[in-house]
Amino acid sequence: MKSITIHKLDDEIEARLVERARREGMSLNQTVKRVLRENLGVDNASPDHRAEFAEFCGQWSAKDKREFDKAVAAFSEIDAELWK
């Protein structure tokens, strides 16, 4: 496993890393490695599956919404007789 050195690290980035390490009870080294893994998409604990569902994400058209509302309208009806 390789080691790297980051030169001239921005003060704000350092402060945020130090705060995150403190908050999570981890060393600065562990925190930097976790941030890199998460942001590079190689976090084994929680893989990023968003791309697999991209075709299902988005917004409905006005027509889609009307059709959906019509299809589920019966679920909003209350049969008073059943509640006596």
DSSP string, 7-60: -S--HHHHHHHHHHHHHHT--HHHHHHHHHHHHHT--TTS---GGGGGGG-S--
Instruction: Provide the whole-model pTM.
Output: 0.49
Average pLDDT estimate for 19-43: 90
pLDDT for residue 5? 92
How much is the pLDDT for 54?
A: 74
Q: State what percent of residues in the chain have pLDDT above 90.
A: 50
Can you tell me the distance from the alpha carbon of 71 to that of 54, in angstroms, rounded to the nearest whole number? 25
- Quick one: pLDDT band at residue 82, thresholds 50, 70, 90? confident
pLDDT at 56: 80
